[in-house]
Copies of this chain bind each other. A is one copy, B any other.
Amino acid sequence: MYKPATIKDIALALHLSPSTVSRALRDGYEISEETKKLVVAYAEKVNYRSNPIALSLKNRRSYSIGIVVPKLANSFFSQAIAGIESIAYERGYHTIITQTHDSAERERINVNHLAQRSVDGLLISMSAETSDFSFLKSLHDDGLPIVFFDRIIDEIDTFKVTSDNFKGAYNAVESLIKAGKKKIALLANAPHLSITNERLAGYMKALADNHIHFKPELIRNCNKGGNDYQEVEDAVKDLLNAADKPDAIFVSSDRISISCVRALKNLNFDPKEIAIAGFANSDVVDLLYPSLSYVKQKSFEMGQIAVEMLLKLIESKYPITEFETRVLDTELHLQQPPLNLPR
């Protein structure tokens, strides 16, 4: 059985008390240089490592932060996590990553598990399914530092980072209009997500500013957030079989954008006839066919900002009451000119 050396072992071997050893290892001022050297040397020899579990129990601090995202396979989130880690490691924190697969129940379980593992704080992007935030609210009320990113919620007052979803959507839809599209459908995520509504607003404003009448019948919500391909294909089929067939689709969600591309391919639609623009952070969007214009979020930066906010909360001596919601720009990548395809 794996049994690492403890402070007690060292104390016993060196005929010292555990407290002296502890202080020597932490370079306490009250310990003589001589003893320190002795202890440090012996600790080195037996490869002593302080036991983080014992420390967590004692200090109620773990120097680790919990991350909760819907899906790791979603590039946006894995990029954001990379951003989080880049800062966290630098500051001496470890990360514990969990995914919810957009299930409200799994989210609750994961969050509670993290809280009890005494993570020092939580970074969370909400699952599409969650509508009851009370479990988070009570943890937050109890003093657990939480920062929301991307899929933020209004119900809890704390630091938040998200993208300028309104503008991102506006610009994408505008680009479609400028390309001559007149009937632009909207394929959206679950309607109670913050990002869904902001992007919907951007879509509507772009239409209005360009004097295009808004038609509710051109909107489809995919409540499973693109986790279920069939749902997306059905929506696309439904839209494109309508009498008043749209000439473009704006997709307001990362995963759904991909599914929409696949649907157009599977349904054999001519890419010339129906343009796509959508949010997408996959690192291969530019290689997809049919190709699309895409709105890319600054996922890595968002992760960095989120974790910095969280560390501010964690390390602050005094309770913080003034919170900020950072909104990041998005990047619009226009659909590439028609491929130079082989005949």
Residues of A within 8 A of B (CB): 1-4, 49, 51-54, 56-57, 60, 62, 71-73, 75, 78-79, 81-82, 85, 94-99, 101, 112-113, 115-118, 139, 142-144, 258, 261-262, 265, 268, 270-272, 282-284, 286-289, 291, 339-343
Contacts and interface: CB of A to CB of B under 8 A. Distances in A.
Nearest to A343: B343
B85 A99 contact: yes
A318 to B, nearest CB: 13
Contacts of A261: 287
A118 B271 CA distance: 54
A72 B49 CA distance: 28
A62 B51 CA distance: 13
Nearest to A75: B73
A94 B111 CA distance: 12
A101 B79 CA distance: 12
A265 B342 CA distance: 12
Given A52-B117, A96-B96, A97-B98, A341 B340 contact: no
A317 to B, nearest CB: 12
A238 to B, nearest CB: 21
13 contacts: A3-B142, A4-B115, A51-B57, A51-B116, A52-B117, A54-B57, A72-B72, A73-B82, A82-B99, A96-B96, A271-B342, A284-B288, A339-B341
A339 B2 contact: no
Contacts of A289: 287-289, 291, 339
A170 to B, nearest CB: 27
Contacts of A78: 71-73, 78
Q: So how many copies of this chain end up in the complex?
A: 2
B56 A53 contact: yes
A229 to B, nearest CB: 10
A2 B115 contact: yes
A215 to B, nearest CB: 27
Contacts of A143: 1-3
B342 A272 contact: yes
A145 to B, nearest CB: 9
A-B interface, 10 closest residue pairs, ranked by CB to CB distance from nearest: A289-B289, A2-B143, A73-B78, A2-B142, A97-B97, A72-B78, A2-B144, A272-B342, A1-B143, A53-B56
Given A57-B57, A73-B78, 15 more contacts: A2-B139, A4-B116, A52-B117, A53-B62, A54-B57, A73-B79, A95-B98, A97-B98, A258-B284, A262-B287, A265-B287, A271-B342, A284-B288, A288-B288, A341-B341
B283 A284 contact: no
B53 A117 contact: yes
A96 B143 CA distance: 24
A9 B108 CA distance: 24
A49 B144 CA distance: 16
Contacts of A112: 49
A101 to B, nearest CB: 8
A133 to B, nearest CB: 16
A117 B52 CA distance: 6
A153 to B, nearest CB: 19
A71 B142 CA distance: 35
A2 B61 CA distance: 11
